[in-house]
Copies of this chain bind each other. A is one copy, B any other.
């Protein structure tokens, strides 16, 4: 990754810079099972986490290149396992931003005391993501068959991926 990229906690002022690529990625229908016809308000409520979760951005100067969010995967007696989601602006794909955000989130979850990190729904055809998470120590625990309706490939599986911390 270029060394002029910084990862920091996102503030409300970052959301308008996240929404354009966030909405583009959801609309593409290849990676996220978010509601259809998502409005900017709903998108913000999905993406901008409240404590104990948080949302971060990868920035270069004033440009937001990608974002990630993290928090407990479940409430109450399941809250010691974390989860996270990632959105990289396709304009900046292939620059190592997903990897930098992934590594940051793993360390942030460790620092927050989570025992492990669970990704609930990694689309099996999103091989770049599957390879990235595998390289960061995640393993596929299961694949729910045909659980995602991919815009181009039709029904494909969703991986549950997990990494112990």
Contacts from A to B (Cβ < 8 Å)? 26, 29, 32-36, 73-81, 115-116, 118, 120-121, 141-151, 155, 158, 160, 162, 164
Contact A115 to B146, CB < 8 A, known contacts A74-B33, A74-B121? yes
Whether the Cβ atoms of B121 and A144 lie closer than 8 Å is: no
Shortest Cβ distance from A79 into B: residue = B33
Whether the Cβ atoms of B141 and A118 lie closer than 8 Å is: no
Contact A33 to B158, CB < 8 A, known contacts A144-B118, A144-B141? no
Whether the Cβ atoms of B33 and A77 lie closer than 8 Å is: yes
- Identify which of A144, A155, A164 gathers the most chain B CB atoms within 10 Å of its CB: A144
Extra A-B contacts (17), CB below 8 Å, given A32-B77, A116-B145: A26-B76, A33-B76, A35-B76, A77-B149, A78-B121, A78-B148, A78-B149, A80-B149, A115-B146, A116-B144, A116-B147, A120-B120, A141-B160, A142-B142, A142-B160, A145-B164, A160-B160
